[in-house]
Amino acid sequence: MTGFPYRRVHFIGVAGVGMSATALLLRDLGVAVTGSDEAIYPPISDVLAREKIAVRTPYAAANIPAERDAIVIGKNARLVPQTNAEVAEAFARGAPILSFADVLGMLAGERTPIVVAGSFGKTTSVSMMAHCLLEAGLDPSFMIGASPLSPPTAARIGKGPLMVLEGDEYPSSNTDDRSKFLHYRPAHLLLTPLAHDHVNVFPTVESYLAPFHQLVALAPPEATILASTGGELSARFLAALARKVVTYGISAGDWRVRDIDWGERTRFTITHEGRDVVRVETGQLGLHNIENMLGVGAFLLTRGLVDAQAFAAAMASFKGIRRRLDRKSDKTRIPMFEGFGSSYDKARSAIAAIKRHFPERRLLVVFEPHTFSWRNRATLHWYDDAFEGAAEVFVWRPAEQGAGTHDQASQEEIMARLKAAGLRAHALSEREEAVARIGAALGEDAAVLFLTSGPLGGLIEAVPALAEARFPAA
C-alpha cells in the first residue's frame, strides 16, 4: 500500500461523490474501509452497494468501528463536532482526522498526477481522459467526482504511473480552508473554462482566481499546462500568468475546432495552430462537450500519451456521466435529460445543448436551487437569463442545508425574479403535486431537462415514469 500509511479508515459523509470515490481508491489499495452518512441516494448508494463498502445511516457515534487508524470527514456543513455526535466522537478518539483531499495528496505522492481543474467541464474532462488512457492500455489511476458511464467506475488504482485527479477549488474541509486541488502535487495541469463560482466562499473575482494561480505555481517548470480560453474569466487569468501555457478553445487558442456537423452523432475536426489533426465523432450533446474533448485531446496529444486516431476512437466510444446530460429513460418518446445545474454556466450550457439537438421541441426545465450560489441573494441576477430558451420552468423549493451561512434567497424571491424576466415559472414544493403540474405540461412536442446538484424531491425518477406511461416509446 505505497503512498498511504493507514490500514483501517472510516469515512464520515461517505455519500459525497468525492468521498465515495476516495473510499474506492483506498479499498483498491487493500485498506479496510467503512463509512456513514445521514442518508444515501442513487447513484452513490448503488455504487457503494455494488462495491460492498459497509455503510451506516444516520450519523451516530457508534458508527465508527473500534479499530480505526484514521477518519476522513467530509466538507458538509453539518459535519462539525458541535452538532454532530459522530464527528465529535471522531475527534475524541484521537485518531488522525483527514479530508479526502489529504488522502488524494498522499496517493498522488508516488505517482505522476495530472490535475484537471476549472469552473466547469472538469468532471467530464477527467472521465474522458481516464477512458482514453484505459483504452490505450496505460492503466492509469484516477478519481472522478461523479458517477461515470465511461469509465465504468469513478475511482481506480492502476499499475501505470499516471494518476488523473479532478481538482476542486472548494475548501478541503471544515477545518482546512485551502482549495482541495492544492493538496494534489500536480505534475501537469488541464485548466477548463473559468467563471466566478462558489460565491459564498469566494465573494470576489480576485478571491476566486487566487487558488488557481496557487495551483499553477505548484506545477514544476517542466509541467505541461493546457488552459482554456473559453470562460468569462479565462482571458483575465491567462493574462496574469507569468509562465507559458498551451491554450485551447472553440475559436481561440493554439488548439481549436472547425466544421462541426451536428446530429445524433456529432462530428468535428480538431486543429493545432491552423493544421487539421483529427476528425472526431461523439454521441455527447452540446458545444461544451466538444470543448471538453478538445481540451482532453490537446493535452494527451501534446504530451504524446496517445496518437490522434486512438484518441478519436476513445471519444467515439465515450458514454458520458450520470447527471451530465444523460438520458433518463429510453422507454418514452419524450426526450428527458439531467444536467448538473450547480452554477449559472453549467445551466446555460445544458440548456443550449438541448435546444441545439431538439430545436423544434418545447423545453420544460425542472430546476432545484441546491448550491449556495443559486440560493444567494447576491446572485439573483442569474435568474434574469439563466433559463432563456425554456418554454416553462418548474422550480423546486431551495435546499435549507447551510442556509444560515449566507444570505439565502427564498423560493418567492426566485420566482419573482423569473417572472420579471418574462418566463412561465411554477413553484413546486410537494412531490405529487409537482408531478401532476409537470405532467400537465408534457406533450408530444416537449423535451425535459432536470437541472440540479441535489435529489430534486424524487422528480428525476417520478417524471420519467409518468412519461413512460403516457408517452411510451414505439
Task: Give per-residue pLDDT as tens, 197-217.
Answer: 888 899 999 999 999 999 999
13, 37 in Cβ contact below 8 A? yes
What pLDDT does 77 receive?
A: 84
pLDDT band, residue 3 (cuts 50/70/90): low
- Domains in the chain and their CATH numbers? 8-98 (3.40.50.720), 103-317 (3.40.1190.10), 326-470 (3.90.190.20)
Give tens-digit pLDDT for 4-43.
899 999 999 999 989 999 999 999 999 999 999 998 877 7
* Global pTM value: 0.85
462, 336 in Cβ contact below 8 A? no
Give the HSE-up count for residue 354: Cα atoms under 13 Å, Cβ half-sphere: 31
Which residues are within 8 A (CB) of 405 and not within 5 positions of it... i.e. 6 or more apart? 77, 200, 372
Which residues are within 8 A (CB) of 312 and not within 5 positions of it... i.e. 6 or more apart? 278, 279, 280, 281
DSSP 161-214: SEEEEEE--SEEETTEEEEGGGGS--SEEEE-------TTT--SHHHHHHHHHH
Give tens-digit pLDDT for 241-260.
999 999 999 999 999 999 99
Cα torsion 455, 456, 458, 461: sign: negative
Give tens-digit pLDDT for 361-404.
999 999 999 998 899 999 999 999 999 999 999 999 998 877 77
